[in-house]
Each structure stands twice: as structure tokens, then as C-alpha cells.
Amino acid sequence: MQKSNKSIAGYHLLMILSSVDFEFSPEEGLLIQEYLAEEFPFKMNLDNELDVIATLQPEEWKDHFEFHARCFYEDSTEQERKAFAKFVKNLIKIDDEVTEREHQFYMLMKKIWKLN
């Protein structure tokens, strides 16, 4: 898998986190759109990225998530990682229910980023 930059890696992380509970709420979509608007103020075609994410099987999510968490880590500052972790927390809480799986992926990200 080719290394991703911080913004692309963040997109992958958010998309997987929004999918691990097998429900993608409209509120999650709006929050991800907010991230995209901040990270990509210019027009960016993410169709290829979405295709990669959409073709992953649930059993592949964890490895893909770990890979992109490492990519994000390599291209970010501690302050950026902390801010993104807060954003992720808002994402997984937006539907008023944090599943065990969402929590596991969130904690995995924090562990990779040494934020525990």
C-alpha cells in the first residue's frame, strides 16, 4: 500500500470509523464533509480513495486503519494529532451511541499516536 499524506490518511481514518458500527448516519457524513472542506480548500477528487475504502471487507478494516494511522502520525505534529483525536471523538459520538468497536478503533489510533 502506498503511503498517504496526512489529509488523505485522515479521510481514510474517518471513513473507517464511521463504518465500523455498520451504520453511516447523515450527521457523520456532514462532519466528514467539514473535515474535507478544511483539509482540501481546493477541489479534490477523492473517488479513488473512496473506491479503496468501499472495497475493503470488514476483516480488512483494522489493518487499513492502522496503516493510515501511521501515515497520519508520520506527517503530523502532536498538536495536529490531538486536534484530530478530538474530531474523531465527536464523530463517533455524533449519533449518541459509541459502540465497542468504535471505541476499540479510537483507542487503537490513540495507541499508535502515543496519546494514551
Q: What pLDDT sits at residue 23?
A: 86
Is residue 82 a part of any domain in this protein?
yes
Is residue 1 a part of any domain in this protein?
no
Is residue 61 a part of any domain in this protein?
yes
* The pLDDT of residue 17 is above 80: yes
Is residue 16 a part of any domain in this protein?
yes
Is residue 19 a part of any domain in this protein?
yes
- What value does the mean pLDDT of the chain take? 93
Number of domains in the chain: 1
Is residue 72 a part of any domain in this protein?
yes
Give per-residue pLDDT as tens, 85-104: 999 999 999 988 899 999 99
- CA quadruple 82, 86, 88, 92: dihedral positive or negative? positive
Nearest in space to 69 (alpha carbons), one of 29, 21, 11, 28: 11
Segments forming the whole domain that contains residue 28: 6-112
